[in-house]
Chain A
Amino acid sequence: MSGGVEDGAAIVLENASASYGGRPVLSGIDLTVRAGERVALMGRSGAGKSTLIGLIHGQAPERVALVPQAAALVGPLSVFHNVYMGRLDRRSTLHNLRTLVRPARDDVAAVEEILDRVGLADTLWARAGELSGGQQQRVSVARALYNGRPVLVGDEPVSALDRQQGARILTELAASHETLILALHDVALALAQTDRIVVLEAGRIVLDAPSAGLDPARLRPFYEAA
């Protein structure tokens, strides 16, 4: 892969490619995302969305808050600690170790506020592994919100939620992160919540257009059985 950061551009990929075990998964990817854009990555499963998400995160990990595909929570730890993990790198290790045993009141308040935004304030001390799939996904989103870095990159961040809840979560993400790059499979949600649609097919970008000019019918061919 190659790329650099221009003025005003959050992410720049030029002729990027990736392969998995010798098999090419992505090829000839040119993608520039400017700061402030809200981009939806779409396409059938296996089209290379997750790999592209990985490339984007790899390009600027210090500016990206990531919502990985699997919620990737630490099951035996509490929801508080899972969300707190979003900022481990910006605290001293000593503070982090202390927080495992006795969290500071300020941190608890901050995390509680974040959890409130995704509708989970009452589960602060629950064990993450005991939550339902949808709740775990919202904890994963909360971790990225708490992380607070300007570019939010999410791999199907609301796939386990219904459309209404999903829309609410995406609005929250948009409210606190300058730039959004989200892999989504719900066409209506993507059209309503983002301003640019990028469609992948067999590892290449086959459509890159503003959402305003698109409708579900135009996107349907990319989802119908090949």
Chain B
Amino acid sequence: MRAAFLPRRGYAAVSRWFLAAALAGLLVADLQVTTLHPFADLARLLGGLIRPDFLAVEGWSVVATVASAMLGVGLGAGTGLLLAIPFARSRTVRLACAGIRAVHELFWALLLMQVFGLSATTGVLAIALPYAGICAKVYAELIEEADLAAIRTLPAGTGAVSAFLYARLPEVAGRMRDYTLYRLECGLRSSLVLGFIGLPTLGFAFESAFRQGRYAEAGALLLIFYVLIGSRRLWVRARTVPVLLVGAALALPPSIGSAAIGPSLARFLGHDIVPAPLRGAALAEPETWARLWAWLRPILTEQVLPGTAQTLVLAQIALAATALGALALFPLTARRFAGPVGRPLGRVLLVVVRSTPEYMLAYLGLQLLGPSMLPAILALALHNAGIVAYLMGRHADAIPYRADAPRGLDLYAYETVPRLYGQFLAYLLYRWELILRESTIFGILGVTTLGFYVDAAISELRLDVAALLIAATALVTVAVDAFSRGLRRSLRIDALPTRLSGPQPITGAEAADG
């Protein structure tokens, strides 16, 4: 039979391989529902959302969430902007950025906690470090995409910084602002999620409320979070940003025991994360290396390999579920399918879904369904399908349909999906890395991905093992990113937009044909 649905052979083949891999993953994945009354708990949480108790909410958790996000994103974006200037030229900068952004905020927080304790510094740095890497890369891409005409007219000998400030920055400032605002939205999510490992943000308050059955308070916390995200364009403006940053710095308590940070950092770097057999050992002795191998081998075979396999399986199933979910959901936000009344409702639904952090969805899922891969898959698929569907809806509305185009399912199957399929794959392959990063983290919630072993190593205070495992998560993430990039290039969809922020392309038809 011919690959009739997707005549460009590459699209069809890639789709089939990914689906087949996800189905194979389903065979080995643990998908059991172990709780007895999943829907009773869900009903209680929904009841809390309908009758929220705002008075029970501790205002401090809201302040801490916003302040950590503001400072973390501010610091990360500022550093990212500085790193973006040498990014294109310096391989070292590119590698360093890839390294710091491949480690998830939660892992950074777990490591930083060993030095700074459960302090505001830990929260801010856990956001700032990976965000600096991400921002450097995206800002550098935005700069590269910008018009070069102005820079060529500068007098010879103009310094790099002057050239950047005069000829580049003005061209890209608007898009950078859009992206940074989007990053702040992510920062708010990250800041909330950091509460789940003990930092005093909304996540912490939510977890305690939920665990103790105070559903009205949990509902109120969720609603406050949605309002924070939904209203960000109102309170984050050029004029309010300095006030917010200074306010955030004043609001967060200074690190406790800051005098001890020097020695504690030295001990952390010089002793704690150094593999145990190498600590104070003679490096010239062959026996030292034999001991290192004896230390390393069980970690590799009993933790890194099974953890990586589980991570890849989870990410693969979640990616396929995201794909199917996005294809099913995007008509909700497209004019031709949802109509003028349905479309705004569809958008609100998808914005709420995507505003909810995956980690919190997974946490809720685990409470409701019991510990298995199922809630993790559902959480990843819901969040990411919400994002991809939202973006696809915008592309669908930009398609120039002919006057006698069909309607309904015929339009969907013959015009919309075929035209958008390249764009659809570009979004999915881009999100693959993000899904994988998040999959590693879900281990902290009890799914046996790499994060599970990281969490165990940290609670046993074996920081050398934790550092090794975190390095493994970074490597897997970087490898999947590189593979996805190569795949996008070979499908010739690498020039299509993939980011959530910023202007969207004008015609979907061009994108699909390009």
Report whether chain A binds chain B: yes
What residues of chain B lie closer than 8 Å to A99, measured between beta carbons? 4
Complex Cα gap A77–B403 (Å): 19
- Report whether A93 and B409 are in contact in the complex, using a CB–CB cutoff of 8 Å: yes
What residues of chain A lie closer than 8 Å to B421, measured between beta carbons? 76
Contact residue among A68, A96, A103, A125 (Cβ-Cβ distance under 8 Å from B403) = A68
Query: Smallest distance from the beta carbon of B386 to chain A beta carbons, Å?
Result: 25
- Report whether A96 and B513 are in contact in the complex, using a CB–CB cutoff of 8 Å: no
Contact A66 B419, CB 8 Å, known A75-B509, A76-B6, A77-B7: no
What residues of chain A lie closer than 8 Å to B2, measured between beta carbons? 78, 125
CB proximity to A under 8 Å, residues B382-435 = 400-404, 406, 408-410, 413-415, 418-419, 421-422
- What sequence of 0s and 1s flags, for each residue 82-108 of chain A, a beta carbon within 8 Å of any chain B beta carbon? 000100110001001101111100000
Name A54's closest neighbour in chain B (CB-CB).
B403
- What sequence of 0s and 1s flags, for each residue 1-38 of chain B, a beta carbon within 8 Å of any chain A beta carbon? 11011111001000000000000000000000000000
Name B402's closest neighbour in chain A (CB-CB).
A72
Name B408's closest neighbour in chain A (CB-CB).
A93
How many interface residues does A have (CB within 8 Å)?
Answer: 31
Query: Smallest distance from the beta carbon of B512 to chain A beta carbons, Å?
Result: 6
Contact residue among B6, B402, B409, B413 (Cβ-Cβ distance under 8 Å from A66) = B402
- Report whether B406 and A85 are in contact in the complex, using a CB–CB cutoff of 8 Å: yes
How many interface residues does B have (CB within 8 Å)?
Answer: 27
Name A93's closest neighbour in chain B (CB-CB).
B409
Contact A76 B4, CB 8 Å, known A64-B404, A93-B408, A100-B413: no
- Report whether A100 and B408 are in contact in the complex, using a CB–CB cutoff of 8 Å: no
- Report whether B422 and A76 are in contact in the complex, using a CB–CB cutoff of 8 Å: yes
- Report whether A76 and B8 are in contact in the complex, using a CB–CB cutoff of 8 Å: yes
Complex Cα gap A33–B324 (Å): 49
- Report whether B513 and A75 are in contact in the complex, using a CB–CB cutoff of 8 Å: yes
Query: Smallest distance from the beta carbon of B134 to chain A beta carbons, Å?
Result: 32
Query: Smallest distance from the beta carbon of A147 to chain B beta carbons, Å?
Result: 8
Name A103's closest neighbour in chain B (CB-CB).
B4
- Report whether B409 and A125 are in contact in the complex, using a CB–CB cutoff of 8 Å: no
- Report whether B409 and A97 are in contact in the complex, using a CB–CB cutoff of 8 Å: yes
Contact A57 B513, CB 8 Å, known A74-B415, A89-B410, A93-B410: no
- Report whether A57 and B404 are in contact in the complex, using a CB–CB cutoff of 8 Å: yes
CB proximity to B under 8 Å, residues A98-138 = 99-103, 125-127, 129
Q: Is A81 an interface residue (CB 8 A)?
A: yes
Complex Cα gap A57–B8 (Å): 33
Name A68's closest neighbour in chain B (CB-CB).
B402
- Report whether A76 and B404 are in contact in the complex, using a CB–CB cutoff of 8 Å: no
Contact A129 B414, CB 8 Å, known A76-B6, A88-B406: no
Complex Cα gap A129–B8 (Å): 10
Complex Cα gap A105–B409 (Å): 23
Complex Cα gap A81–B422 (Å): 18
What residues of chain B lie closer than 8 Å to A70, measured between beta carbons? 400, 402
Complex Cα gap A102–B400 (Å): 27
What residues of chain A lie closer than 8 Å to B512, measured between beta carbons? 75-76, 129
Name A129's closest neighbour in chain B (CB-CB).
B513
CB proximity to B under 8 Å, residues A42-59 = 54, 57-58
Complex Cα gap A66–B513 (Å): 23
- Report whether B7 and A88 are in contact in the complex, using a CB–CB cutoff of 8 Å: no
What residues of chain A lie closer than 8 Å to B409, measured between beta carbons? 93, 96-97
What residues of chain B lie closer than 8 Å to A85, measured between beta carbons? 406, 414-415
Complex Cα gap A76–B413 (Å): 12
What residues of chain B lie closer than 8 Å to A129, measured between beta carbons? 512-513
Q: Is A24 an interface residue (CB 8 A)?
A: no
What residues of chain B lie closer than 8 Å to A210, measured between beta carbons? none
Complex Cα gap A39–B344 (Å): 44
Complex Cα gap A127–B363 (Å): 46
A-B contacts besides A66-B403, A129-B513, 9 pairs, CB < 8 Å: A76-B6, A76-B419, A76-B421, A76-B512, A76-B513, A80-B4, A88-B410, A96-B413, A101-B1
What 10 pairs across the A-B complex have the smallest Cβ distances?
A: A72-B402, A75-B513, A88-B406, A66-B404, A88-B410, A127-B7, A129-B513, A68-B402, A76-B418, A78-B7
Q: Could you give 27 example pairs across A and B, Cβ below 8 Å?
A: A57-B404, A66-B403, A68-B403, A75-B418, A75-B509, A76-B6, A76-B7, A76-B8, A76-B11, A76-B418, A76-B419, A76-B512, A76-B513, A78-B7, A81-B4, A88-B410, A89-B410, A96-B413, A97-B409, A97-B413, A101-B1, A102-B4, A125-B7, A126-B7, A127-B7, A129-B512, A129-B513
